[in-house]
Structure 1
Amino acid sequence: MTSGFVAQFSDEIETSTLNLYDTQSGALGQADVVLEGAAAGQIAGSILVTGKELTFIKTGRPLEADTYTVTLRSAADGIVGKALGELLDGDGDGVAGGDFVQTFTVAASQPLVVSLPDFACGPGQALSGPAEGSGAAFTEGLPVRLDDAGGVTSVLLTIDYDPALLTISGAELGADAPDGSQVEINVDTPGRATVALFSLSPLESGSVDFVRLIGSVPENATYGAAQVLRISELKVNAGAIEATADDALHAVAFPGDANANGNYDTEDARFIARVGVGLDSGFAVEQPDAPATSQLRHAYPTIDPMIIGDVTGDGTLSPMDASDLLRQVVGLPAPNIPPLPSDTSVSTATTLTASAGSSVYGESLTFTATVSATIPGGEVPTGSVVFKEGANTLATVALVDGVATWTTSALDAGSHTITAVYDGAAGFYASTASANLVIAKATLSVTGITVEDKVYDGTTDATLNLEDAALEGVLDGEDVVLVTTGA
């Protein structure tokens, strides 16, 4: 991929220890992923982890023709396994530890690049691209850009994205589209948008914003999450012109919210200024000037600060960005910064654990549901959690400090999927989580049963005396059925 690289691991890796960016005090340590070009030097970008894959996305244009070296850092505060915390065996010697280092070469890309910009857009906000200058009103819609567009008459492309973090609902012609141009979009499949457009006459050379994608970020999108918007199935002039597709990174955050608290405040301006003058390399933690030994809430340790903090859109972090943030905070006009949504509710995440993954019928099990706000440092959710199996409600429990527990011994033998449903409350959106477990049958045997007045003619009922009976063996319910055979 010309926008970065993908690293595959044998197991899932822990994400809470990862960072590309740090503070002046070295709170998070060395960068855990480094991409360096022989000619280009160190490449700025962002990383995200999905399952066993780590994706590095370069900020801005595609990788230039060069030989690149990737270093994945193996350390207790670097790349470790999620399940057991084992160090990455980067040098492949069979012993945990050792950085992974590999080189790859990128050939020159095609002159025509079809791209989406890297951008920040938070829950409840209309989709928009980077700012176009201090004081310039932001424009709704994400631009699809054609670099060196000379001779282009038509483009067909598909954009894949995460529908939990973004909704694309339509497309409009961009500011540079010639008169008579047309665009059509298919968004029938969530997470996929197919765009077709044409111009009556060939485009002139230069960079062109031909189309703007219309959409929004769902109100319950996880704050601080990130995704890659991937361009595929690209055809220019029905395939007659070769082109390079450049993917984009979307950070689910309000542009300028450098401390990741879901609001605009003076700390945002301070954070931007600190990175701008080189004190910090990014918006890594909530208190960048705190001692490195402090336990600090993370902000955006794996996201290029340019994507969050460049509210003027000039490609730098400068005093002007900090100044515009201060204007926003005190209520002065800052039209290049999109307004915060009127609904200030935050998304939540629910986790559900059982005291045991398997049990025996009749034994007590405790289910613990924990509901937390996805904005780091946010308030603790209130309300209640409904424990369900399928459509059946098993219990409703009020949250106490974000936690609801339910204990039961009434689950039948067999496989169960228990779901914790948080329906939300004032200021908090709903979320759910599930846990699977197996209830084994209890053992059962019968001893001490005597038969009174036993008659052997096969027509008279016999009476069972159970006063001294004891039951053991396999039991998966409250009822025991005794079946007799013979006389």
Structure 2
Amino acid sequence: FRVSFSRPIDVGVVNLYDAMGIFGESDITLRGATTGDVNGSLVIAADGRSLQFVANGALAIDSYSVVVRSGSDAFQTVTGELLDGNADEEAGDSYNGTFTISEVPTVRLAIPSFARGPGQDVHVPVGSESGIPLVLESDGSVRSLDAIFSFNPELLDVSDIVPAVNLPEFVTFSTEVLEPGRIALRFDATESFPDGGGAPAGQLTIANVMAQVDTAAENGSSALLSLESVVSNSTITVGGSNAVQLVAALGDTSGDGAYSSADSALAARLAMRLDSGLVNYPVVIPSLVADVSGNGTVSMLDAAMIAGVSGGSQGPDSGSASAPRQMLLRHEGSFRRADVIDVSSVLSDVDTKVLAESRDSAASRAQAFADIAAGWAASVAANENSTFSFAEDSDESADSIFVDPGLV
């Protein structure tokens, strides 16, 4: 959703996430009546008069409430006047709104959000060389598709948009530059696909955007990526999508443009749920920067990969991680460091298989050791009649134990 303001807002005090207790509660909340709170990122216009909330994934069918908070630490003008959210001409009121999604499109064209630093090529996922994928999600009926790809040319240099390598020969993909930052796309099948219909149901990458972050882009700046005016089979308007480009090197959680132990420490704080966001990126979902493993969550595996980074065009990779020798235990709000026990003489067949299959990947070994350590801790906790929760769990009881691999 988009929010507009009558006067420029002070963007320096707005946050969605907290870090080290600096920012406090979120200044914008999106909550589904059934689905609960929705995480996402904000892209704020350069003039401070509007912003776009980009959810971290497509919204489900639900009724949603939106709160835009007014306050000296929330939405106010650049001169310090508080937001008048209910338009009663008395400043200090938060805005409250609702909307409903009653159906989701059966056809949708999507593009992922990403974080890369100035001058870096953009490949998603990191280990690939294929650029930024444009993914068609369909019901199997799509024979042709038209769309417009919009981006900020001051932050992203797009050199080409190429058809995906797995498309059949009878599929053509063409582009036309409409103006800087707007490119028209067309996907067209001149024959039926193998099942006799349109593109296979499910997800299909139809093209890849070959791009590089502009060398003059300011670290921490962001822009909206949009796929709009999406039309299927020449007549049917279908779903587009929005994503976020953040100018930040993957793994540079401190935002200083370099890799250091501070980046690893901040990723670890996210993994341990001490922080919900990052100090230098308070309006962007932190996984965009800190999830260097690309598995969808921020864990101590990411902290390990960042700690071992030696550079590279795309930031940390799996070769920079080493198997953890220690882990952190949290119990009733207290932390202690414990050695990952040597279980080589008592490994089960399953554990042995996990380790054997992980030999070729340092990152996989790190995760395997972490899993085994967590399993051991869970069994100990069970014997001591304590409850146990993995790092991914959000609800913790007072006597729960939190386990995640540590760093030495």
Q: TM > 0.5 between the two?
A: yes
| Alignment counterpart, residue 209 of structure 1, candidates 173, 198, 205 | 205
- CA positional deviation for 1:255: 1.3
- CA positional deviation for 1:178: 2.9
| Alignment counterpart, residue 110 of structure 2, candidates 115, 136, 142 | 115
- CA positional deviation for 1:98: 1.9
SS, match of residue 268 in structure 1 = helix
SS, match of residue 194 in structure 1 = strand
Residue deviations 1:180-207 (CA, integer Å, cap 9, x gap): 4332222362111111123442322221
- 1:12 maps to 8
Instruction: Return closer, same or farther for 1:53/1:321 CA change in 2, 3 Å cut-off.
Output: same
- 2:30 maps to 35
- Which residue identity is paired with 2:88? D
Contact 1:154-1:236 at 8 Å conserved across structures: yes
Residue deviations 1:326-375 (CA, integer Å, cap 9, x gap): 232489x954699xxxxxxxxxxxxxxxxxxxxxxxxxxxxxxxxxxxxx
1:72 paired to 2:62: no
Instruction: Return closer, same or farther for 1:15/1:314 CA change in 2, 3 Å cut-off.
Output: same
Q: What is the 5 A alignment of 1:295-444?
A: 299-329=280-310, 335=317
2-structure distance, mates of 1:217, 1:307 = 15
2-structure distance, mates of 1:130, 1:44 = 21
SS, match of residue 261 in structure 1 = coil
1:167 paired to 2:185: no
1:246 paired to 2:246: no
Contact 2:118-2:247 at 8 Å conserved across structures: yes
SS, match of residue 68 in structure 1 = strand
Contact 1:177-1:208 at 8 Å conserved across structures: no
Contact 2:310-2:316 at 8 Å conserved across structures: no
Q: What is the 5 A alignment of 1:39-118?
A: 39-50=34-45, 51=47, 52-60=49-57, 62-82=58-78, 84-118=79-113
2-structure distance, mates of 1:49, 1:184 = 32
Contact 2:149-2:182 at 8 Å conserved across structures: yes
Which protein is richer in helix relative to its size?
2
Instruction: Return closer, same or farther for 1:182/1:326 CA change in 2, 3 Å cut-off.
Output: farther
Contact 1:155-1:234 at 8 Å conserved across structures: yes
**Root mean square deviation, CA, Å:** 2.2
1:191 paired to 2:181: yes
Contact 1:142-1:213 at 8 Å conserved across structures: yes
| Deviates further, 33-42 or 201-210 | 201-210
- CA positional deviation for 1:230: 1.5
- CA positional deviation for 1:176: 3.9
Larger radius of gyration: 1
SS, match of residue 238 in structure 1 = coil
1-structure distance, mates of 2:199, 2:23 = 48
- CA positional deviation for 1:88: 0.8
2-structure distance, mates of 1:334, 1:191 = 29
Residue deviations 1:461-482 (CA, integer Å, cap 9, x gap): xxxxxxxxxxxxxxxxxxxxxx
- CA positional deviation for 1:46: 0.8
Identity %: 31
Contact 1:255-1:337 at 8 Å conserved across structures: no
| Deviates further, 68-77 or 319-328 | 319-328
- List gaps (5 residues or longer) in structure 2: 321-408
- Which residue identity is paired with 1:112? V
Aligned length: 310
Residue deviations 1:291-324 (CA, integer Å, cap 9, x gap): xxxxxxxx10111111111122221112222222
1-structure distance, mates of 2:75, 2:43 = 13
2-structure distance, mates of 1:140, 1:86 = 47
- 1:219 maps to 215
Contact 1:167-1:191 at 8 Å conserved across structures: no
- List gaps (5 residues or longer) in structure 1: 132-136, 286-298, 339-487
Q: What is the 5 A alignment of 1:443-458?
A: none
- Which residue identity is paired with 2:40? G
- So what's the TM-score if we normalise by structure 1? 0.60
